[in-house]
A and B are shown apart, each in its own frame.
Chain A
Amino acid sequence: MTVNEMLPLAVIASSLLPGMVIFALPEARVGLRSVLNLLGAMSKLVFVILLLEGVARGEVYGFRHTVLPGLDLVFKADALALLFVTLSTVLWLFTTIYAIGYLEGSPHRSRFFGFFSLCVTATVGLAMAGNLFTFFVFYELLTLSTFPLVVHRGTPQAMRGGTVYLAYTLAGGALLLTGIVWLHGLMGQVDFVHGGSVAALGPQATAQIKVVFLLLIAGVGVKAALVPLHGWLPQAMVAPAPVSALLHAVAVVKAGAFGIVRIVYEVYGVEYAQSLGLLKPLAIAAAVTIVWGSLRALTQDDLKKRLAYSTVSQVSYIALGVALFGPVGTIGGLAHLVHQGIMKITLFFAAGNYAETLGVHKVSELDGAGRRMPLTSAAFTIAAFGMIGVAPTAGYVSKWYLGEGALAAGMDWVVAVLWTSSLLNAAYFLPILYRLWFRPPPAAWPAEHIPARGWRETGWLLLAPPLITAAAVLVTGLFAEAGWSPLAWAKLIAAREYLQ
């Protein structure tokens, strides 16, 4: 086995193995568990950096293992895979740190961190999947490993949220599986290749191919929370904050969006999908989702629910970018995969801090929280401006490229969608900022768990992650055109997808 075959497996193993050990650890071994967690996260980061450096140089990383004749487990760490893997790896590290602080002293932590590791394992596996079968395997693993996290608290509300989550995602998985099996029947194994491979089936299969496209997109669309398949996401917000971060930024919805990218670009091929007229409906579905999610977010008083609807809206920017035929839209969508991740994780970290520190769960209880928790609130503010798309944040850059991509594709109406969405984003984020910074704080917080000590408004494990990710929101926007930015990586991918 060569190094180029081993590295992708190492990335998967670096969370799988610690996860297995953690399952077996007794509850009280906090130190060892934390060390294992962080060791896994750090070593994964090292492997990913090696991969990034190699892929930028033009190296090819892949691994193929035949499970059954005609059914291969394939991994490939190409530029597109690494975009997602890097995002997940980096944010997983921060989420782990955050989760250690967040769950301090609560029960069932071995179970929690075990599934936590499995979840990120599934995510990187799915990101590096080299064919539809492999993708499906990890897609389902992701469902199964996140369910215990969603219901972690065991309350009736959590169980209900978890049930809804499971119902939606398993149904999505079934649709996906149907599509995959159908396609296997038509053409055998479907590898992800630049430009897609379905076009080879020829014109007589067009009708079937369109139906399969619908099945596949609906299958991954459940996780991507495309309207009307989004119902599980607001229910799942009952999960603890680190899990929400995982669902909204690191793993689950991103897995869905990423699936759309792979299916359009590397199963169908963007030119072929366009010639079949499949991109326009996808763009419309994404646009509807963008506006609908924002409209629903407007009226939510529960902070995490408002953020959840915001995710529904924002994740569809990725699908929209994919559906805009042309490299600029692709760049915008792919960059947003990363940008949305760091912005939304910042918001959820901050929401978790308000809940954990002050017992504040509702928007209407946030009055004056900026004075009590200025650093958390500053992080929240930066990310919220990013979501609105105010320059110089990351959100501005992705919206800009999406707009330019839409114009290049002759879909000028998308600019109106972006306008509307930004307006709605402002309408549900600015009132929060107003409450944070301009309203007087209440006489007493609902349930103040963590007292302020000097500038340390809450535990430092809770404080550091949002500050770092908020800084990243600014830096990735401010230095968007630098060679190391997510945008630059998205450009690299777009160049490879379009220049055949």
Chain B
Amino acid sequence: MGETHRRTRIPAVTHASLIASLGWPLALMLALWPARTRRLAQGLAPLAPLPALWVAAVLSGDAVLELPSVLLGTRLGLDATGRLFLLFTALTWLAAGLYARAYLAHEARRSVFWAFSLATQAGNLGVCLAQDLASFYSFYALMTFAAYGLVVHTRSAEAWRAGRIYLVMAVLGELTLVAGLMMTAYAAGGTQVADIQVSTPSPLAVGLVTAGLGVKVGLPLLHLWLPLAHPVAPVPASAVLSGVMLKAGLLGWLRFLPLGYAAYPEIGATLLLLGLIAMFYGVAVGLAQSDLKVVLAYSSVSQMGFMTLGVGAGLNAPGLWPVLLPAVGLYALHHALAKSALFLGAGVALKVGGRAWVLAGLALPALALAGVPFTGGWLAKSALKAGLIALPAPWADLLGVALPLAALGTTLLMSRLLWLAHRLPAQEAAQALTPPWLAWTAAGSLLPWGFMPAWPWPMDWTGFTLAAGPVFLGLVLAFLAWRWPLAAPAIPPGDLVVPVERLLQALVRARLRLNRRAAQGR
């Protein structure tokens, strides 16, 4: 009797919470429209992620909401991965929202920002809860298209250009994703994540899903939009774009690739290679940038490379997936926290200038990204390395060399960031921005400790040296570069997008000329 009572009561709370976590941001968004409720909705908007946070942090185990008549059969719920992603997604949105309240205090088009931001947020949170491909794609699309409004928020010429490139690549990515999902679902005989994770789709299907989501993740060559779109958005939007929305693509990989079940050696190897390229490419091009936010965007390209390595390794050697999955999750959590803290901090630095306390606040997440011992980055990198070094040759040896080098690169890039911040002229004190940023920075440095897998790696001097050595070396190099500066070549943000854009423009012009000639001929 008591048993039945429990069983009927808990789902009611669960269902209500799951619905509220997505419905509350959307309800607030709609409430922005009528003039009567606008002020209230604006005031509450920063708190939009609270129900989702409650779901991620408090709600018990198998929270599932089945809606068989919605879309192609919808299932919302939390597994360990989804809970982790939901947690850091909701937290980051909360931090960005509280920051945005101060950031937008004098902004005329505040409700426009909030409207797009809330819609994006609902999509981003929904992605974490979706357990079937149709609802995942619905939320993913909502997130992608609504984020356009954030990218172009400032209405500047660069914003329009970034928005255009963002949209073109996002649409290409989504269509490719859908095509891949069609094939995957056909092979799996179902649209549920549970079906797909134990299926063996064709390599083409897996490749399409990987590439489609790879646009969001910012895989090399698919990253062209990222260094343009992330910096041009208002600071709080940049923080979520670079901090958590990239992870929606990663989560898609974890959901719709048969990781740990079937091996795809070629695709796995390609991803490993792309991950390696991303790690160094992001650093190399990032070092040539002179805008704080662009440096951070390139750092995201580089950092997503680490997570790409984990997924590539999982496709290559399914046996390693049980070790890799928590490591990739932890890395995602760490990067979300550190990168959003850095973006929010960059916003503070741009307002108040390169004061010492600002630099100190930036240094904390920067060191974490570089993987200094006892930071979140160190935990994540150690966990990831424990899986990666078990890969077959030549990957294990290659990565054994590449990972410390990448940490060195990250250190250089972060030094560049701090140096750029240091040069900013001191301006007025921006008190309102500071508390949410510093609180978030502190929370971000502590939180990863709660999610580390239980010390699977050896705690010895070699480990410490391997983690701290590259950082130290990087700091030395940075110091040298500061004393004896080298003229770095200036690479425009978006790097390869510039020649691509020129080529397309030339084609369009040629086409127009042809049209004109045809018209004259007539």
B178:A480 contact, CB within 8 angstroms? no
Q: How many residues of B contact A (CB 8 A)?
A: 25
A423-B175, A430-B171, A438-B152 known; A480+B72 contact, CB < 8 A: yes
Stretch from B181-189, B302-310, B399-407 contacting the other chain = B181-189
A430:B167 contact, CB within 8 angstroms? yes
Stretch from A10-18, A140-148, A343-351, A386-394 contacting the other chain = A386-394
Chain B residues touching A, majority SS: helix
A404:B167 contact, CB within 8 angstroms? no
Specify which of A389, A390, A430 lies most central, judged by the most chain B CB atoms within 10 Å of its CB.
A390
Instruction: Give the complex CA separation of A407 and B135 in angstroms.
Output: 21
Instruction: Give the complex CA separation of A430 and B163 in angstroms.
Output: 12
Flag B142-157 by CB within 8 Å of A: 1 or 0 each.
Answer: 0001000000100000
Q: Which residues of B contact A483 (CB under 8 A)?
A: 69
Q: Which residues of B contact A403 (CB under 8 A)?
A: 178-179, 182
A400 within 8 A of B: yes
B152:A426 contact, CB within 8 angstroms? no
A391-B137, A438-B152 known; A404+B182 contact, CB < 8 A: yes
Chain A proximity of B136: nearest CB distance (Å): 9
- Chain A residue nearest in CB terms to B187: A407
Instruction: Give the complex CA separation of A478 and B137 in angstroms.
Output: 12
A272 within 8 A of B: no
A390:B145 contact, CB within 8 angstroms? yes
Chain B proximity of A210: nearest CB distance (Å): 31
A392-B134, A400-B72, A480-B72 known; A408+B175 contact, CB < 8 A: no
Q: Which residues of A contact B72 (CB under 8 A)?
A: 397, 400, 480-481
Instruction: Give the complex CA separation of A495 and B172 in angstroms.
Output: 35
Chain A proximity of B178: nearest CB distance (Å): 7
Q: Which residues of B contact A43 (CB under 8 A)?
A: none
Flag B430-449 by CB within 8 Å of A: 1 or 0 each.
Answer: 00000000000000000000
A390-B145, A391-B138, A419-B176 known; A407+B71 contact, CB < 8 A: no
Q: Which residues of A contact B183 (CB under 8 A)?
A: 407, 412, 415
Instruction: Give the complex CA separation of A479 and B176 in angstroms.
Output: 24
- Chain A residue nearest in CB terms to B152: A438
A422 within 8 A of B: yes
A482:B69 contact, CB within 8 angstroms? yes
Partner of B70, one of A389, A390, A481: A481
Instruction: Give the complex CA separation of A419 and B177 in angstroms.
Output: 10
> What number of A-B contacts does a CB cutoff of 8 Å give?
71
Q: Which residues of A contact B185 (CB under 8 A)?
A: 404
- Chain B residue nearest in CB terms to A406: B182
Flag A377-395 by CB within 8 Å of B: 1 or 0 each.
Answer: 0000000010001111000
A287 within 8 A of B: no
B68:A481 contact, CB within 8 angstroms? yes
Chain A proximity of B65: nearest CB distance (Å): 15
Partner of B171, one of A391, A399, A415, A426: A426
A179 within 8 A of B: no
A481:B69 contact, CB within 8 angstroms? yes
B319 within 8 A of A: no
B73 within 8 A of A: yes
Q: Which residues of A contact B152 (CB under 8 A)?
A: 438
B141:A390 contact, CB within 8 angstroms? yes
A391:B71 contact, CB within 8 angstroms? yes
Interface residues of A in 471-494 (CB under 8 A from B): 477-483
A255 within 8 A of B: no
Partner of B178, one of A389, A408, A481, A482: A389
Q: Which residues of B contact A422 (CB under 8 A)?
A: 175, 178
A334 within 8 A of B: no
Instruction: Give the complex CA separation of A353 and B340 in angstroms.
Output: 44
Partner of B134, one of A400, A407, A412: A400
Instruction: Give the complex CA separation of A418 and B72 in angstroms.
Output: 19
Flag B119-142 by CB within 8 Å of A: 1 or 0 each.
Answer: 000000000000000110110010
A422-B175, A423-B172, A426-B171 known; A392+B71 contact, CB < 8 A: yes
Chain B proximity of A412: nearest CB distance (Å): 8
Flag B90-128 by CB within 8 Å of A: 1 or 0 each.
Answer: 000000000000000000000000000000000000000
Instruction: Give the complex CA separation of A479 and B183 in angstroms.
Output: 23
Instruction: Give the complex CA separation of A404 and B175 in angstroms.
Output: 15
- Chain B residue nearest in CB terms to A421: B175
Partner of B186, one of A391, A408, A416, A477: A408
B182:A477 contact, CB within 8 angstroms? no
Flag B67-79 by CB within 8 Å of A: 1 or 0 each.
Answer: 0111111000000
A391:B175 contact, CB within 8 angstroms? no
Specify which of B72, B171, B182, B186 lies most central, judged by the most chain A CB atoms within 10 Å of its CB.
B182
Instruction: Give the complex CA separation of A404 and B152 in angstroms.
Output: 36
A415:B73 contact, CB within 8 angstroms? no
B175:A419 contact, CB within 8 angstroms? yes
Q: Which residues of B contact A438 (CB under 8 A)?
A: 152
B69:A391 contact, CB within 8 angstroms? no
B179:A418 contact, CB within 8 angstroms? yes
Q: Which residues of A contact B134 (CB under 8 A)?
A: 391-392, 396, 400
Instruction: Give the complex CA separation of A408 and B68 in angstroms.
Output: 23
Instruction: Give the complex CA separation of A404 and B134 in angstroms.
Output: 13
Chain A proximity of B298: nearest CB distance (Å): 27
B71:A477 contact, CB within 8 angstroms? yes
Q: Which residues of A contact B73 (CB under 8 A)?
A: 481
Instruction: Give the complex CA separation of A478 and B138 in angstroms.
Output: 10
Chain B proximity of A496: nearest CB distance (Å): 22
B69:A479 contact, CB within 8 angstroms? yes
Chain B proximity of A105: nearest CB distance (Å): 32
Q: Which residues of A contact B186 (CB under 8 A)?
A: 404, 407-408
Q: Which residues of B contact A412 (CB under 8 A)?
A: 183
Chain A proximity of B144: nearest CB distance (Å): 9
A480:B172 contact, CB within 8 angstroms? no
Chain A proximity of B408: nearest CB distance (Å): 41
Specify which of B134, B172, B178 lies most central, judged by the most chain A CB atoms within 10 Å of its CB.
B178
Instruction: Give the complex CA separation of A426 and B167 in angstroms.
Output: 10
- Chain B residue nearest in CB terms to A455: B34
Specify which of A389, A399, A403, A416 lies most central, judged by the most chain B CB atoms within 10 Å of its CB.
A403
Chain B proximity of A485: nearest CB distance (Å): 8
Instruction: Give the complex CA separation of A159 and B60 in angstroms.
Output: 69
Instruction: Give the complex CA separation of A391 and B132 in angstroms.
Output: 13
- Chain A residue nearest in CB terms to B511: A299
Chain B proximity of A423: nearest CB distance (Å): 6
Chain A proximity of B124: nearest CB distance (Å): 15
A392:B138 contact, CB within 8 angstroms? yes
Chain B proximity of A483: nearest CB distance (Å): 7
A400:B182 contact, CB within 8 angstroms? yes
Chain B proximity of A405: nearest CB distance (Å): 10
Chain A proximity of B362: nearest CB distance (Å): 33
B171:A423 contact, CB within 8 angstroms? yes
Q: Which residues of B contact A385 (CB under 8 A)?
A: 145
A478-B71, A479-B70, A483-B69 known; A407+B182 contact, CB < 8 A: yes
Q: Which residues of A contact B (CB under 8 A)?
A: 385, 389-392, 396-397, 399-400, 403-404, 407-408, 412, 415-416, 418-419, 422-423, 426, 430, 438, 477-483
Q: Which residues of B contact A (CB under 8 A)?
A: 68-73, 134-135, 137-138, 141, 145, 152, 167, 171-172, 174-176, 178-179, 182-183, 185-186
The 7 closest A-B pairs by CB, nearest first: A482-B69, A403-B182, A391-B138, A407-B186, A392-B138, A481-B69, A426-B171
20 example contacts (A-B, Cβ-Cβ < 8 A) are as follows A391-B134, A391-B138, A391-B141, A396-B137, A399-B178, A403-B179, A407-B186, A415-B183, A419-B175, A419-B179, A422-B175, A423-B171, A426-B175, A438-B152, A477-B71, A479-B70, A481-B68, A481-B69, A481-B72, A483-B69
Can you name 6 extra interface pairs (CB under 8 A) apart from A390-B141, A391-B141, A481-B71?
A392-B135, A400-B182, A407-B182, A407-B186, A419-B179, A422-B175
